[in-house]
Amino acid sequence: MKWFACELHTHTLHSDGSQTLGELAAGAANLGFDAIALTDHNTMSGLSGKAEIEQKYGLRIIPGMEWTTFHGHMVTIGLSAFADWRQANRDGIDEGIENVHRLGGIAGLAHPFRIGSPACTGCFWEYEIGNWSAVDYIEVWSGTFPSIQTNNRRAFDLWTEKLNEGYRIAATSGRDWHAQGETDDPISVTYLGIEDDAVAGNGDSTALSLHEEMLIQALREGRASVTIGPLLTLTLAAGGAIYAIGSTFPTADERRETAEEPIRANLTLDFSVRTGLWSLPNQVCKLKLYSNLGEELNLEVPSSSDGQMMQLEAQLRESAPDIPRRWIRAELWGTVRGAHVLIAFTNAIYFEEGGYSR
């Protein structure tokens, strides 16, 4: 799997940003991003000149839009055309999400617990969602140094609650990036994973276009890992098969020949990503596996300052027959700026039992 560093929530002069698309792309490239999603409020006009800017900075620009209403903001990416938001009412967001899907896009809740009006008109999510299976992702980290913010903690808890209920929803970060400017706050990155054999050659327009579609599909399928530091990834192995983030682990009946074999979790911490663009103090961090059954693993791992990659392996315990394991993710905890925070987390690997198929 090749992982691409993405920023999925940005704005330009075409809405309330104070930067051109070129300035945004230059800033993103300097921060080591491979792709950005342009999500201007209620317009896609800012994409003018997209192809030339992509070529200049070697950066994929994914088309999107942020639906901005009094009842909440919804980030959408990958649409083939403008999706009209103006008739959306508080109990009609399901139809709005259907419209986004009809145009080939995916939809997510933007900063759902950010303080709302009048400080930020409609920022707080108040839509009544009837079909959570249709929600593609939740922006659980918003802004810079997101893991320290209470509103993001609430969004992360909402995501966990929906996973526990059996929904298969991805989680992302989004800076909600409006302007170029210096900040020493930790910056979050959503890494999207593409299979090695699907990655085309680099540097030409065909490859840029191909990667854009693949990145959208990766988020649609939940192949995502979020971090303010090293890249954290997880796979499960059983019976000779490997299951990556976003995939579904089969039932014991489906893997009858190997059901007695233990399930192995393989965790990787890559400290070489975006070299020189982030730092952690030397410390012993906590690497955890977490599922609907609670905390399943807690390992102490040293932070690395020399860009090395760490690989760890553990065996999952058997779940009780009456409480099936529905999902599992990895989390990295440690100290940043004197606060004990979540540094990185993977999206979930799902289990066939007890989940809602997408």
In what helix (H) or strand (E) does residue 350 lie, and over which residues does it extend? strand 349-351
pLDDT of res. 18: 96
Query: pLDDT, tens digit, for every residue of 344-353?
Result: 999 999 998 7
Nearest to 46 by CA among 18, 74, 26, 73: 18
Does residue 83 register a pLDDT over 70?
yes
Cα separation values, 60 from 28, 57, 229, 286, Å: 10, 9, 22, 34
Phi, psi of 96 (to 5 degrees): -60, -45
Distance in angstroms (rounded) separating the CA atoms of residues 224 and 247: 11
Q: Is the pLDDT of residue 213 over 60?
A: yes
pLDDT of residue 207: 60
Instruction: Order the strands of the 264-270 sheet from edge to edge.
Output: 241-244, 231-238, 264-270, 309-315
| Per-chain mean pLDDT for the chain | 92
> What percent of the chain clears pLDDT 90, i.e. is strictly above it?
79
pLDDT (mean) for 301-325: 87
Of 104-108, 192-196, 269-273, the one with minimum mean pLDDT is 192-196
Q: Does residue 190 have a pLDDT over 60? A: yes
The predicted model gives 111-121 an average pLDDT of 86
Q: What is the pLDDT of residues 225-243, one digit of tens each?
A: 999 999 999 999 998 899 9
Phi, psi of 95 (to 5 degrees): -65, -40
Q: What phi and psi, each to the nearest 5 degrees, are found at residue 216?
A: -65, -45
The region of weakest confidence among 15-29, 255-269, 276-290 is 255-269
pLDDT of residue 206: 53
Query: What integer is the mean pLDDT of 115-132?
Result: 89
**pLDDT recorded at residue 116:** 80
User: Residue 220 pLDDT > 60, yes or no?
Assistant: yes
C-alpha to C-alpha distance for 223 and 221, rounded to whole angstroms: 6
What pLDDT score was predicted for residue 33? Answer: 97
How many secondary structure helices (H) and strands (E) does the chain include? 5, 19
pLDDT at 303 over 60: yes
